[in-house]
Structure 1
Amino acid sequence: MPAPFVAYLRVYEPLSTFAPTVRDQLVEALRRGPIAPDHAGVREQRRWLHSQLVAPSRLLPGEAADGTPAGAEDVLVVDPDDVPTGESATVGPGPLVCPLDLRGRSAAALVGFLASAEVPLRGAVFPDPDGDAKSHANRVVQELSDTAVHVLSSTWTVPLPWFALVDPTERIEGTDSGAVSWLVAMADARRRAARAHTVSEGALGDQGPTRILRETGRWLERFHPHSAVELDYGGLVQLMSAEDVQADTSAEDVHAIIDAMERGESTEVAERYEALRDFWAEFAARERYN
C-alpha cells in the first residue's frame, strides 16, 4: 500500500516547553522510538485503519473505546543543530518534538467533512451525520481551543504560500527515500510569513494566498518561538519522477513572485505563477482519477 499522497507543514517544539503531563507522554513516546518523517504518513494511515478494524471500532485514531485519549502520542524528533538559523533566530534546547496529534487532527477533519460534504455522501459514511459522531468530534476539537495541532496537511499538492516560509537554497533531498523537505527556525518562518502576507495583501487584497498566509502566520504564533518548522512533500514524492524533483523550483518561484509583487512587476508574477500552476496541476489532477 503506498503512503498517503499528502504533504505536511510541521512544528517541532522544545520538549521542555510542554506541560508536565503532556511531556511525560512524549518522553514515553521517545523511549518507544520516534517516527521518521518519511514514515509518518504510513504510520498515520495504519493508526487510522487500526481504529476502524478493532472491535469495538473507534471513531478517531488515538483514542480508547470510550472515546478518551488512548495515551502516549507518536512523535517525530529533530536535533536543533540540524536546523538552519538566521542571525536573530534561536532554536532549542533539544530535543525538538512534533506530536502527530492524530486524534485532534482527525476530529477537525471529520468536522470539516460533515460541514462540507454533500448530503448523500455524509449519509453513506454516517447514517446519522448530525448525531453522536458529530458531537464527539466537536468536543475533541473544542478541547484543542487552548493549544494547536503540530501538523497541517494537504492532499495531492503543496499550498504555494507554504513555500514562502522556507529558504529555497536549503532544500533537503533524501538520497534513498527520495524525500523532499525543508527545516527552518520558527523566527525565520514567522518573519518570512509576515513579509509575504504584507506584500500579498498590498498586491492581491485579502483573498486566496493572502488568507492562507494570514492563517498560517497565526498558527505559527501559537508555538514556542524557539521551535523549528518543517515543510515536507511527504507521500507526494511517489507521484514525482527524478526529473520532476530536479525540475522543481517551487520555493525559488514563490520567493521571486513575492519580490516581483513588491516591485510591482505584474508580468513576472503572472509568468512564474503560470509555471507553478502547470507544474503542480499535473499532480493535483490525479485526485480525480482516485
Structure 2
Amino acid sequence: MPHRGTAHLRVFQPLTAYPDAVQARLIAGTHRSRVEVEAEADERARQRLVRRAADPFPEPGEDELVRVVTDSHGSAFYCPDELGLRAEMAAALLEGAMTPSAFEAAIPAAARAMNRGRALVQLEDEWGLSPDPDEPHGEGGHHRVQTRTATWGVPHGWLAAFDPEEPVQRLVDGETVACRRARVTVARERCAHAAAVLVRHAPESELLGELTVMGEWLGSFHPDSVLELDYGALTSHVWPDDSVYDLWTLLDALEEGDAATGGVAQERLNRRWAAVGMLARAN
C-alpha cells in the first residue's frame, strides 16, 4: 500500500517553462485525469512494495505521471512526478543515515545504479544538464525537482507559504483529500516575511532555516507557477487543519511582543502534530 501518512508540496509550472522535449512529454502525459494519476501513483507504489527483490525505484520504461492544475482563467500548469530523480536523491540522503549493510539490503546497488543512469540520461537529453540533479550546472543553471514529500507531518516552512483566508481546494470531488494553492511569487513573499520576523525575534529558530531553503527553492521556478500543498492521506487525520492560521498567529505575536497569544498558537501547533506523530509510531 502507498504510505498512508504522506503529504506533498508541488510546484506546477506553465508549459513554456520547460524545454521542448519536456513539453512534448508533459502534453503526452495529460491523457490521465488527476483522479487517474493519483490512483496510478498508488498502484505503482503498491507494486514496488510487493516485489520479490528489494527495489524502491520505478520500473524501466514506465511512463512518467504528470499532474496538471488550471487557474481561474483556464491556463494549465504542469508538475512531472520525477520519481526516478527523487528516488535517487532520497537514496543519497539515506546512505548517510544508515549502516552500509542495512542500506544495501533496502536499496540494492545494482537497482540504484540503473535508476540513477536513467534519471541522469533524461536530465542530459531533455534538460541539457549533467549530474548532480540539485547542484549548479554551469550555463545550464540548476535543476530543482518540483515535488517535496513529508511523512506523518507537514513542515512549518511549507505552511508559511499559504494564507489561512485562502479557500481550500479538493483534489477530487467527493474525496477527502484537501490541498492549498498559491502563486509561487506570493508564496515566496510570505516565506520571506516570515523569515524576516524570525531574524528579528527568534534567530535561533529551526523554522528560519526551513524558510531559507523554501525561499531558494521557490525562487528557482517560473514566476507564474502555482504552489500546491497536497495533504494526501493526512487529510483524514488533521482536517480541518488550522495550522496555517496558528503559524501566522504565532509570527504576528512575535512581531507584536504578545507572548501569551504566541504561546497559545505554539501549543496548538505542537499538540496537533504531536498527535500525528503518535500515529506514525503506531504504524
Q: Tell me, yes or no, whether TM beats 0.5.
A: yes
Distance in 2, matches of 1:142 and 1:284, equals 33
Number of the residue aligned with 1:214: 212
Q: Does 1:24 align with 2:27?
A: no
Is this contact kept in 1: 2:169–2:181, CA < 8 A? no
Distance in 1, matches of 2:3 and 2:54, equals 23
Is this contact kept in 2: 1:15–1:23, CA < 8 A? yes
**Bigger mean CA deviation after superposition, 269-278 or 70-79:** 70-79
Distance in 2, matches of 1:144 and 1:21, equals 20
1:233 CA drift (Å): 0.9
Number of the residue aligned with 2:126: none
SS of residue paired to 2:181: strand
Find 2:132's aligned residue among 134, 139, 142: 142
* Pairs aligned (count): 263
Deviations 1:113-147 (A, max 9, x none): 111124553243246xxx55566666647145431
Number of the residue aligned with 1:274: 267
Deviations 1:30-71 (A, max 9, x none): 1x224349x63x53343244457679986621x52xxxxx37
Number of the residue aligned with 1:252: 245
Deviations 1:60-89 (A, max 9, x none): 21x52xxxxx3742111111217xxxxxxx
CA 1:186–1:102 in structure 2 vs 1: closer, same or farther (change >3 Å)?
same
1:225 CA drift (Å): 0.2
In the alignment, residue 228 of structure 2 is paired with which amino acid?
E
Number of the residue aligned with 1:157: 153
Distance in 1, matches of 2:57 and 2:271, equals 36
**Bigger mean CA deviation after superposition, 153-162 or 93-102:** 93-102
Gaps of 5+ in 2: 121-130, 136-141
Number of the residue aligned with 2:165: 169
Is this contact kept in 2: 1:6–1:234, CA < 8 A? yes
CA 1:264–1:115 in structure 2 vs 1: closer, same or farther (change >3 Å)?
same
Gaps of 5+ in 1: 65-69, 83-92
In the alignment, residue 256 of structure 1 is paired with which amino acid?
T
Aligned-residue sequence identity (percent) comes to 26
Is this contact kept in 2: 1:28–1:72, CA < 8 A? no
TM-score, with structure 1 as normaliser: 0.79
Distance in 2, matches of 1:154 and 1:217, equals 18
Number of the residue aligned with 2:257: 264
In the alignment, residue 7 of structure 2 is paired with which amino acid?
A
Distance in 1, matches of 2:107 and 2:65, equals 28
CA 1:54–1:122 in structure 2 vs 1: closer, same or farther (change >3 Å)?
closer
Number of the residue aligned with 1:15: 15
Number of the residue aligned with 2:72: 81
In the alignment, residue 18 of structure 1 is paired with which amino acid?
Y
CA 1:114–1:45 in structure 2 vs 1: closer, same or farther (change >3 Å)?
farther
In the alignment, residue 9 of structure 1 is paired with which amino acid?
L
Number of the residue aligned with 1:116: 97
Distance in 1, matches of 2:229 and 2:40, equals 18
